[in-house]
Each structure stands twice: as C-alpha cells, then as structure tokens.
Amino acid sequence: MKTLFKLFGIFSLAVLARAEVMTTPVPGTTNALQIEAKADEVLKQMDTFYRSLKSLKLDIDVQLHMQAEGMKQEIASAWSAALQRPNKLAINYKSGQNQFTFVCDGRLLNVYIPVIKRYLEKPAPANLDVLFKEQSEPAMLLQQGVPFFASLVAPDPRARLLEDVASVKYVATEMWQGAECHKLRGEQSQFDWDLWIEKGKQPFIRKVVMDMGKSARRMGDKVPQMKQAQWQIEIQFNANEANPTLTDEAFKFVPPANAKKVDSFRPQPGQGEEEAPSPLLGKPAPELALKLLEGGEQVSLAKHKGKDVVLLDFWATWCGPCRKSLPLLAEVAAQYKDKGLAFYAINQREDADKIKDFLAKQNFKLTVALDSEGKAGEAYGVEGIPQTVLIGKDGTVQAVHIGYDPALKAVLGKQIEDLLAGKSLAPAGAKAGHK
C-alpha cells in the first residue's frame, strides 16, 4: 500500500508540474463543447475582467487529497504571484512539494527549480502572450506548472479554461471565504471540475476542485487498487488584488549561491544524469498484431524486416505532448515515406470513433494502429506517452524517445538517415531519450 501511495503522489505531482511525458491532458480539444447559457455568461464576464487587468497580485494554494483502501494522503504546495502587463510576471514558491520559481522582470526571464539547484535565464518576451504560443521550457512551465493559473493570465482566459472541455453547467450560487460565488461544473476527458467565480464587478476565480477519478481508473489497468481510489486536486486563489501598484522588487530574481545556470533542464551528455538505457535498445523489436484504424491488413513488423526502417509512436488523443509531437512525426513520415520509412501511430486504448474525430479536427494524416488492450504498449515498456521507437532494417530497436521535444523532428531526421545508410544507433550502453 505504501508503494501505491508513492505512485499516487508522484503521479499527482506530475499533473502539477510541467511533466513532458504526460498522463493528463493539456491545451487542445477534441470535444464538441456543450455549455449552458448562464454558465457561459459568467465565463465571459470573468474573461473580460481578467483581460482588462493591467496588474494582478494573489496567492495560490494547491492541495491534493488522495484516498485508497482506507488510507489517506495529502500533498500541499503554495506560491505567491504578481503580474504587470505587458511582460512582467513572478510566481514565487512558498511551501510544499512542487518547487519552482518563475520570474520575468521585463528584461530577463528566469526559471529556478530548487530540487535540482538549477536555473534558466532567457531574454524576456515583449509580452506574456508569447508564452502561451511557443513551446520553450519556460513557456511549458508557465502553461502547466500551476493548475488553472494559466487561465487567469492567458490572452484569452475563457478559451484557455475551456480547452479539452466537453460540457459546462451552472450549478448554484455559494459562499466561499465570505464572498458570494457562481459555481460551475465542467467535464473533460481525464477529469471533471467545479469552479467558483466571485460575483460582482471583480469576478475573480476563487477556487477550483478537480476530480481526478477518471485518471485514477485509467491507472487501474496497471495498478488495480487505483480503480476505487478517490483523488481530488483543490486550487485556491486567495488575497486577490486587481490593478495593485507593483514595484520592481516584486519582479526581482536573485539566483541562490548554490544554483547553477543552465541552458536547459533536460539532462545533457556528460552530466551524468541521463536516463537509464532503454531495455529495448539493440534487441529485436517485439512483433505487433494490431488492426489499423482504417481497416485492411494488420500491422506486421516482419514484412518490413530487411527492407524498411520502422518508426512507431505510442500516443493518445488526450495527451498534450502527443498532440505537439504528432505534427512533427507526420512531417518526418512524409519526408521519408518514399525512401524506406514505415510509420505507425499506435493509439493507446481509445475508441476508434474518438480517434477519427480527433484526426479530422486536427487535420492529421497518419497511419494509426489500435492498441485497444494496451498489449503492444506493455511489450514496448510504455509507461508515459508519447514514446517514439525507431527500428532498423534488421528488426532491432535503435532509438527510444520518451516525451515531447521541439527538436524531435531534426533528431529523428538524422537518425533515420543514418539507419537508411546502414549505420547502427544502438551500440552497447546507448541511452534512451533525445540523443
């Protein structure tokens, strides 16, 4: 049971962090949104209010409540935040498990993660809106670091909040910490949420409670105890101040004496922090027997052996990093299709109609294989997605990439060209990841 709660806690913190191997959805939707008129009126008022703010100050408190087989666990994190448009933002860690600091003073943007004693320093963007469009490490941390906070400071708060949402209903009017609030309820593919928005001229978002039961049940495929688990994430936005006067001190970052400045938080060669070698590398790729989304013959690696390099990508529609990786993979597949590359996007445990709807809306043209029971994923050791696997003409696994990386297209291109030229990428001791 202790192991279960360790897994539960780690998985929950991954939701709060900017984890690039995602097990919960991030921006992008495949659902036809259904929203009650009264709920939408409240969200539009909230949207107009946050868009109008020149500056903002608040405290953010996040609590994870977990219960399974009679045991309980709670994990808390807290930050203070300040915003001044067009390009100043400070999110300072106060307490708890999920430690990071994000400070943009208008000239420089710094991100510091205490647990690894490292920080990034980048030029500040001209405006914060850019950070909701690009895919840099600071941008991904801002977008995913504190749940729902991005919906407050994004250029389009309502649209940001409704990403991946299937429906929103108006529940009731309730009091929260002395303020009368509208309570809304939303449903998403991986979790549902209740949202409290203050009534009146300052419609602050005051609280969000995310019911992660759907995610827990999905985890139950590998950890049976999770199927009956209760799991909630509660986010409180306290001490809200609209248009406060903020000094330069509010956006000051001084790196700790023991902190190392780095270009990336990703492990670099020679740092001694690379991921452990994938057990697949250099070994025969497990055979596949999967139906294709569009029908026809099953996927078979045997028919490609001795002729083609094979690229596999394990993914799902709800996975944000998968959505970012798929367009890159589609471009790579198209570029090398006539040069000896076969590409299969192996969907993990999703309904065929949902996949088709997703592909149509995203305008992706992919050869999709259906891993409906997750057996292929298990054979390839998939624990987080996306996981991308390159198989040489000899049928052995030559490279394994886990998670999303903007450089993936270039990395894969070089690796594919080497494999097509007859080179090997997986000598003894080769590492997993983007190498």
Ranges of each domain in the chain: 2-261, 291-420
On the question of a common fold for 2-261 and 291-420, the answer reads no
Calculate mean pLDDT across residues 319-327: 83
Q: Tell me which CATH code domain 2-261 carries.
A: 2.50.20.10
Phi-psi region of 209 (alpha: psi -120 to 50; beta: other; left: phi over 0): beta
- Is there a cis peptide before residue 386, judged by omega within 30 degrees of 0? yes
List, for residues 217-240, the tens digit of each pLDDT value.
Answer: 666 565 555 566 677 889 999 999
DSSP class per residue in 392-411? -TTSBEEEEEES--TTHHHH
Instruction: Identify the pLDDT of residue 97.
Output: 64
Domain topology for 291-420? Glutaredoxin (3.40.30)
List, for residues 13-35, the tens digit of each pLDDT value.
Answer: 333 333 333 333 333 334 478 99
Band of pLDDT at residue 360, cut at 50, 70 and 90: confident
pTM: 0.61
Instruction: Identify the pLDDT of residue 15.
Output: 38
Instruction: Identify the pLDDT of residue 269.
Output: 46
Cα separation, 233 vs 221, in Å, equals 22
Smallest Cα–Cα separation from 119: which of 271, 261, 256?
261
Strands (E), 36-189: 55-68, 71-84, 88-96, 101-105, 108-113, 118-123, 165-176, 179-188
Instruction: Identify the pLDDT of residue 131.
Output: 85
